[in-house]
């Protein structure tokens, strides 16, 4: 008897419309656990819409989106209950309303607040943001905060929108190394979106290209490439000892 392959996300005939505009129309897409995916597309391609649906921040207009074989739970108002196993870098925008970064981090990581402040804020150019309200952050600052929280949490699924858009080369390499280590050591399924594959092609196993809400092509990333690719990545990312904490 053939072994059934387990899926973490299963999409069939998924459609998301805003009035008469179809933002997303996907016939079929399977996401396997423990894999890094890159979703590539320009503005209006549907990549952010897809991640919002996966995160449970929005509901589809029609079709099926299953997480581990089940539909998303809803409360008595019909709103999707946030699944603690899924974390999105867009979370601060949705769940940090009227909170300062300090308060938001305290809510998310009550035992790690001081460590996060010391690591990312205390002695850096972002020190002034610690007491700023999240709804007062710029798009770049909000993206940076989402990446920090993403790297410090321990979800089964990590969704990151607009990866690398606001990074310089050094910041991108540091976050990339953390994501790769999270995937390899914890088996985290990671789905990242970007307007180009400039960064994603170097560490995503699968690249999904979207165009006007449709999948235009799916390709294998360089992380499954030849030995030359692997040797290049080893040179780019020397071994670094970094302590990881479990989210409480």
5-34: per-residue pLDDT in tens? 689 999 999 999 998 899 999 999 999 999
At residue 223 the predicted structure's pLDDT band, cuts being 50, 70 and 90, is: low
Percent of the chain exceeding pLDDT 70 equals 88
pTM: 0.83
**Separation CA 212–CA 22 (nearest Å):** 9
Closest Cα partner for 63 from 37, 102, 31, 26?
Answer: 26
At residue 130 the predicted structure's pLDDT band, cuts being 50, 70 and 90, is: very high
- Strands 214-220 and 86-88, how do they pair? unpaired
Per-residue confidence (pLDDT) for residue 5, from 0 to 100:
64
Mean pLDDT lowest among 56-60, 101-105, 208-212, 230-234? 230-234
Q: Tokens 């092509």 sit at which residue?
A: 217
* Segments making up each domain of the chain, as ranges: 9-71+80-236
Q: Are 85 and 154 in contact (CB under 8 A)?
A: no
182 sits in the region (left: phi over 0; alpha: psi -120 to 50; else beta) called alpha
**b/e per residue 228-247 (b: at least 16 CB within 10 A):** eeeeebeeebeeeeeeeeee
Q: pLDDT averaged over the chain?
A: 86
Structure-model confidence comparison of residues 101 and 246, the more confident one: 101
**Separation CA 20–CA 32 (nearest Å):** 32
pLDDT of 108 higher than 90: no
How would CATH label the architecture of 9-71+80-236? 3-Layer(aba) Sandwich (3.40)
Mean pLDDT lowest among 71-75, 77-81, 209-213? 77-81
Q: Are 72 and 10 in contact (CB under 8 A)?
A: no
At residue 232 the predicted structure's pLDDT band, cuts being 50, 70 and 90, is: very low
Largest CA distance in the chain: 60
At residue 79 the predicted structure's pLDDT band, cuts being 50, 70 and 90, is: confident
């Amino acid at each position: 008897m053939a072994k059934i392959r387990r899926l973490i996300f299963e999409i069939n005939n998924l459609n998301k419309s805003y009035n008469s505009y179809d933002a997303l129309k996907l016939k079929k897409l399977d996401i396997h656990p423990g894999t890094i995916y890159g979703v590539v597309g320009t503005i209006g391609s549907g990549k952010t819409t897809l991640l919002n649906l996966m995160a449970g921040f929005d509901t589809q207009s029609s079709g099926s989106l299953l997480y581990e074989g089940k539909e998303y739970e809803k409360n008595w108002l019909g709103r999707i209950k946030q699944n603690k196993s899924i974390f999105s870098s867009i979370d601060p925008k949705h769940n940090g309303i009227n909170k300062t970064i300090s308060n938001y981090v305290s809510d998310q990581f009550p035992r790690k607040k001081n460590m996060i402040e010391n690591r990312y804020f205390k002695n850096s150019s972002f020190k002034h943001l610690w007491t700023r309200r999240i709804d007062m952050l710029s798009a770049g600052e909000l993206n940076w905060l989402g990446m920090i929280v993403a790297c410090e949490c321990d979800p089964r699924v990590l969704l990151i929108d607009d990866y690398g858009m606001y990074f310089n080369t050094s910041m991108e390499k540091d976050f990339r190394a953390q994501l790769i280590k999270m995937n390899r050591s914890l088996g985290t399924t990671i789905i990242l979106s970007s307007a180009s594959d400039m960064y994603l092609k170097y560490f995503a196993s699968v690249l999904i290209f979207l165009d006007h809400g449709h999948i235009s092509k799916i390709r294998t990333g360089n992380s499954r490439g030849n030995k030359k690719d692997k040797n290049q990545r080893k040179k780019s990312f020397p071994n670094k000892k970094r302590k990881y904490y479990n989210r409480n």
